[in-house]
Structure formats: C-alpha cells, structure tokens
Structure 1
Amino acid sequence: MQLAKVININDENSFDPTPRLKSSHIPIKFISFDRLYKNCIYCGEKYIRALFCSQKYCKKCLSRYITDIRDNNICLDIYGTLDLECNEHEVGRYCLYYLDNHNKSIYNKVIESEKNCKLCGKSLYQGTVKDIMSTFKLCSDCYLVSFEWIESTLFKKQVLIFHSPLWEDESYCANCRSKLIFTSECQKHCANCLIFYTGCRYCLTTNIIFGLTGQSQCKKCKRISLIVKSNEDNDDLFLNDIIYDSSLFDNIANSVNAIDKYFNPLALSRISSNYRLKYIPYSQFEGVEKMTKGGYGIIYKATWLPKNKIVILKRFKNSKYFLNELKSIRHCFNGLTYGYIINFYGFTKDSESNNYILVMEYASGGDLHKHLQKNFTNITWFQKLNILKEILTGLENIHSNEFIHRDFHTGNILLENLRFSLWKIGDLGLSQSVNNKSSNNEIYGVIPYIAPEIFKGSAFSKEADIYSL
C-alpha cells in the first residue's frame, strides 16, 4: 500500500486523510490543541489525559458534544470499554497504571481491546500485549498521510504542506524546540522556522505548513481557514527563501515513505523535524568581539547565552555571499559525517545593521596552517595520517553531495579543540554545485592551492579540490 503521495489540492476527490470517518457537522471542542493546557479553554474544566497517547480532552465538553452530534460513532474513533472511570484518564475506562498492579485480568482485557484498529478491525501488533502501552500505533489504512507543494497566497513561491490525519497538539516546534505561538484554539506557529500548524475542528486533522501562505484548506472537509501571524515582519519573505527550498520535499518524501504500515503517531512528528536551518534571535548573543576581516565579510566571536558556549558569527558584505554559504551548508551537511565539517547552528539578524549572520562552531584550536608552523617537528606520522583521514572524510562528504569547495587550503582546515584533536573543514562561502555551469571566469582562493587548469580558464571541479588537498 502506498502510504504517501503527491496530490493536487484543487482536485476535490484527491485525498481523504481519514476515509472511514465522517466530518462532524459541529466543531469538536473537547480536545486541546496545546498539551500544556491544564484547563479547558471553553468551559474551564480540568483536562484529562488520554490513556494511550499524550492528548488531553475535556470530559464535560465531550459529553456535551455526544449529546449534540448526529452519528457520533462514525465521526470519532473514541469509545468506552468499561463502566468504571479513572478521573485522570479516559472516560469509561479503568486506569491502566492502577490495574497493572491490582487487577491483571481487567488490565489484559483493556489492553486486548487496543490490539485491533477501531475503524477496520485489523490487527496492529505482532508482539505481546505489553507492547501496546509502549508503542501505541494507528492503522495506515484508516489514517492516511500525504504532502504537496502549493503556491503561496502571499507571494509567488511554492510552499510545502504536510497533511496529518491526526490532531497535532504539540506545544513546541519539532525543528528548533521553541515554544509555539498560539494565535487561536486551532492555529499555532514557530516564528523562527516559519512552520504553521492549522487544525480542523470538524475533522480533527492538521495541516503542517513549511513556509508563508495566507490560508490553509482541510483535505477532508475542504474548509478554508485564514492563517494569522502574531506579528508582521517585512523580512518574512526573505526568511522564507532562506529556510525552505525544494530539497525539503525530498527529505519529507523519504521520511513519509519509510513509515511502517501500522505506525506510531510520533513518526509523524519526526517527519516535520528533519530540517536543520534555525533562526536564532540576535539578543541571545553577548560579548560580540571582532576577530578578523576577510574578502567577503567579518568574523566575530560571541557567547551564545542559552547554550553558554562560544560561537562564531559570520557577517557578510551582501546577501549574495550569505545565501550561497547557507545553500552550501544545507546540501553538504550529512548526519553521519558532520563531525568533519564545522558545525552550523543557525542564522541570525543584527537589528541595527539589518545584516543576516551565520552562527557557526568556534574552533578553539585554530587553523592547520598555523598549527603546522608551530608544531610541525613534533607531529608524529600517526598524527599526520589521522589529520589527513579527517580532512579526506570531510571533503568526501562535500563531494558526495555533489558540491565542490573551491577555496580549499590549510587556512580553512580548523581544529575543533586541542584536547580531542578533531579537524574540520570550514568556510563553504565559495562552494557550489558541480552542476552549476554559470561561471564569471573569476579565480578564487589562495594561489599555491589553485589547480593549474583554473588559470587556463577551466571551471572549478572535484579534481581541483583534490589538487588543493
């Protein structure tokens, strides 16, 4: 069965995230959109935590909804299994934590009822009944996942929407872990990452939107809701271009297609968190100190307050160089070998100069050129081979992502710290894709490290990087 597919939002019959459920004809208000809330935002009653997941709901509003709704058995997938109640968990159910220790027969009966999909009856588990508690799952025949590109209603730009069949009640951004900003009882967003969550209270589904747009449409009932931002920033469109490009689509597509047939809802949260770029408020840095000035910008050292660590702030002369290095970082970072390229933490903006700045790892050991000048006679052959291996690993990572460095020399090989002697490649500002055919015939880099063919008009290549090595 295909778990995810690219669909056309204009096709009214293209996709239904919960095909075995009907949309409610009245809003479903008893479920919280923020799991940190303790009391119902509608009636003030204390929320109750659901038994098999972290969602919270209001028992009073649920009872009122069941009274008002028609055909509630096909609008919702909740039900009661036992007569007695636990005030801390689901209506009509014993508390499993109590039963597990006091009444094993009833405990096993409750657990047994969760082994099959409530909507189609198919078995969800192959393991023991104990697995139910630790790996709550849903049937992907009844809860369908999809994603698509649509054109933003705010500007001519494609944005990605991930259609979740679940009511996503996360309180923190899955990408940067910042507290989400709630603009209504069914809308929230991360101002740093420009990720917007819009929930449909008629279907209990959620659209997760990666980028700026003015509206969101429920894939089930087709209702359209306007997206509200907590504040307007003239740089939002530029920020949108920085954070998102077509590579995100491939990342999410791969993640969705890797979901098990019977999946844990947490897998959906991880899908929306596989993007690295992060905006960091400039106010989080103090003790900003100028270190050096280069041809394309200025390097500063500063303390990143929330992390209590020293970082590098790389300010560029213009946005062209900033965007080029950001693009290179996005493509060249690989989770398996990131240790051999200088870590990238995110980007920020100086409110006074209006310049965007990269936030990078501070390599306290300095560069390889100075290290060799100072310690060459004391470096053993084993250490030399280890340095070479780490440099080669970093360069291989860049080349395997079909990029070339174009400015490879000992000044851009940096020692993370003297204690662990970990060497990393830095300064991807001049790097570009191997498929980039645009060339202005300019020669970049330090002359002794530039391949001879470059001086004859040839384009930079992977082979030219190897010559520099």
Structure 2
Amino acid sequence: MDVKKRLKNYNLSVLKTVGKGTYGNVYLCENRDNALLTIVKDIELNFKLQDHKQDIANEVKILSSLDHPNVIKFYACYYAENHVMISMEYATSGNLAEYMYQRCPKLLPQQEILFYFCQVLLGVNYIHSQNIIHRDLKAENILLTGKNGVVVKIGDFGISKMLASAKKTSTVIGTPYYLAPELCEGKPYCTKSDVWALGCLLYEMCTHKRAFDAETLVGLVKAITSGSVHPIDLTTYDRSMQDLVDSMLSILPDKRPSIKELMGRTVLLPDIYTVYLDAGNEELLHLRIKELMMFT
C-alpha cells in the first residue's frame, strides 16, 4: 500500500514530499476534518511491528504530552503494515541550518544569535525538566515558524534513532558531527550530551563552520575526543561567547553546565528573560528582533 492510501485511512491528504531521510520519508499533509496542516514522518520498519508496537506507542505518548511554545507538538502515531507514521506540528519557515546558509558568508550579529539560541535553550530546558533527552539536536532540527520565521520550535527528537535501534543494526548511519565524546566511547546519552550538541550549534551559528569536522568517521571521532576547536572571531563577538562555547564543549560531561546554569549566564540572561516573556508570540518576537537589528 502506498503512503497516500495509508494516510487516507486516517483522514490525511498528502500535499507534497518535504524530505527523504535515512529512516523514512517526510510529508506535508492536510487533515481533511479540520484543514490543519501537519508533518507526517513515514518510517518503514524491517521487524515485526507487534513486537515493538508498545515501545513505540509509549515513546510517542511521552512526546505527545509535551506542551511548550518552543517545542514541536506531536499529534498522533499511526500504524499500517510495517510502517509507523508520526504526525506532528508543521513549522512554516524552514530550519536554522537553512537560515544560516542564507546569511553565509556574513557572520550573524551576536544579538541575533542570542535571540534564536535563547529560544532553543528554553525549549531544551523544558524537555529536560520532563526527564527527556532530545538525542538529536542540530541546526536542521531547530525549526522556525510564523509568518516572519522568528519563533523557534525544537523538532525531530531522537525517536527515529530509537526506532532504527529496534532494527538491531550496528551500522553508523550518517556523519555524527554533533556527537559528544562520551557517546563516541559507547556510553549512554545524558542531558549533558544535549548540552554538547548545543555547544556545537552555537559554534556553528558564530562561524558558519562545524565545530568538529573530518573526512572520515575515525578522523571525526578523533577530533571530537580531542575537544579542541578554533576560536570564534573575537572582533565580532564578546569573549563571553567564546567562554560559553568552551564550557559547553568540555570533554567531561560533569564539567559542562546544565541548561539551567547556562540560562543564568550574564551574556544570556537578558535575552532569556525577553524571549521567555514573549515565548511563542510571533508579533512580540518580531518586534524584538527588529529592535535588535537596529542596533547591530
């Protein structure tokens, strides 16, 4: 059965394919009952679905309970044949990776970076407060929405990786540029692994370059476990921004700050306060970014 027929059974019409990934395809759909636009991840599984259906349902149930203006809302999970289809909120303005690419090679002003990064921190802080680890934080998974694209939504949790792990594959898929050193050593994910990934994200926002890069996976792991990165441009950014990156990219997880500790840093606190008050409010956030850009 093709995807259109599978989704039709759940009153969803496929409008277009928006992505093809390692674990399945992503579609923009319309709910025929209420005309709501939704993103549907269609993940094909190569194991007997009934053996893992409860694990998948439990994971999606947890994600569906999340309610925060900076976190993508999960709507439902559908099962058909050997497919799992996850329906979630549609972010209308792309993602942070695309946003940075459009601005490259010009460096983003510090205040603009903080405006977006602080919204990310608020979302991750909420996720961690619910005892959830994201597991796949990267620029492509930081979504932007609203008519002006100024509202940040954290999406694409590591559920795809969880599902893939049920396939019992040991193959490393893709190049894990945001992978923390402890994960390279085979240790489990923890909240500090998310903090490492956010350090990589902040570095990328400041430089348009990956914090760690190499031509081979072995070379990348070596670069990550060495923990050394080129400094950001201190003629453009305050020293406190470099200190922030350095603290988040500490080799030892215990040396990295928690998200709560990060939000209390002097360089972040004013913007944290502002985006917290305006969280999810498209109009207020748009006014705020316009004000910031006037003084850069």
TM-score by length of 2: 0.52
Superposition map of 1:112-131 within 5 A: none
Give yes or no for the alignment of 1:370 onto 2:101: no
Structure 1 unaligned runs (5+)?
A: 1-279, 433-438
Q: Could you list the per-position Cα deviations for residues 10-41 of structure 1 after superposition, in whole angstroms to 9, with x for gaps in the alignment?
A: xxxxxxxxxxxxxxxxxxxxxxxxxxxxxxxx
- In 2 relative to 1, CA 356–444 (structure 1 residues): closer, same or farther, beyond 3 Å? closer
C-alpha distance in structure 1 between counterparts of 2:126 and 2:52, whole Å: 22
Aligned to 1:289: 16
Render the CA deviation track for 1:193-238: whole Å, top value 9, x for unaligned: xxxxxxxxxxxxxxxxxxxxxxxxxxxxxxxxxxxxxxxxxxxxxx
Specify the alignment match of 1:327 in structure 2.
Answer: 58
Shift, 1:307, TM fit: 2.2
- Relative to 1, partners in 2 of residues 1:404 and 1:347: Cα closer, same or farther, differing over 3 Å? same
Distance 1:370 1:412 in 2: 11
Q: Give how far 1:419 is off.
A: 1.6
- The 1:397–1:445 alpha-carbon spacing in structure 2 relative to 1, beyond 3 Å, is farther
RMSD: 3.2
Measured at CA, do residues 311 and 398 of structure 1 come closer, stay the same or move farther in structure 2, by a change above 3 Å? Answer: same
Alignment match of 1:384 (pick from 98, 113, 122): 113
Measure how far apart 1:339 and its partner are: 1.5
**Does the C-alpha gap of structure 1 residues 408 and 305 become closer, same or farther in structure 2, counting only changes over 3 Å?**
same
Q: Which amino acid aligns with 1:285?
A: L
Among residues 75, 81, 106, which one is paired with 1:345 in the alignment?
75
* 8 Å contact kept, 1:451–1:464: yes
Q: Alignment partner of 2:69: what SS?
A: helix
1:354 to partner: Cα distance: 6.6
SS in 2 for 1:299: strand
Report the Cα offset of residue 414 of structure 1. 0.7
Deviations 1:32-79 (A, max 9, x none): xxxxxxxxxxxxxxxxxxxxxxxxxxxxxxxxxxxxxxxxxxxxxxxx
Q: Which digits, 9 at most, give the CA deviation of each residue in 1:165-190, with x for residues without a partner?
A: xxxxxxxxxxxxxxxxxxxxxxxxxx
Q: Deviations over 1:318-365 (max 9, x none)?
A: 248886665344334566x52211112223455xx5734111111121
What amino acid is the match of 2:122?
Answer: T
2:42 maps to 1:312: no
TM-score w.r.t. the length of structure 1 is 0.34
Higher RCO (C-alpha 8 Å, min separation 6)? 2
What residue in structure 2 maps to residue 358 of structure 1?
86
Return the letter of the residue paired with 2:29: A
- Cα offset, 1:458, TM superposition: 1.7
Question: What is the deviation of 1:445?
Answer: 7.0
The equivalent of 2:227 in structure 1 is: none
Which structure has the highest strand share of the two?
Answer: 1
Number of paired residues?
181
More helix by share: 2
Tell me how far 1:367 sits from its aligned partner.
1.5
Specify which of 108, 127, 134 is matched with residue 405 of structure 1. Answer: 134
Matched, 1:464 2:193: yes
**8 Å CA contact 2:75, 2:89 repeated in 1:** yes
Runs of 4+ displaced beyond 6 Å: 320-323, 439-442
Match of 1:340, SS state, is: coil
Contact 2:119 2:152 (C-alpha < 8 Å) held by counterparts: yes
Secondary structure of 1:466 counterpart:
helix
Q: Secondary structure at the match of 1:449?
A: coil
Bigger Cα Rg = 1
State the identity %.
24
Q: Which residue of 1 aligns with 2:178?
A: 449
Cα distance in 2, alignment partners of residues 291 and 407 from structure 1: 19
Amino acid at match of 2:62: H
Q: Do 1:316 and 1:356's aligned partners in 2 also have CA atoms closer than 8 Å?
A: yes
* Contact 1:408 1:445 (8 Å CA) reproduced: no
- CA shift, 1:460, in A, is 1.4
Alignment of 1:170-249 (within 5 A): none
Matches within 5 A, 1:111-150: none
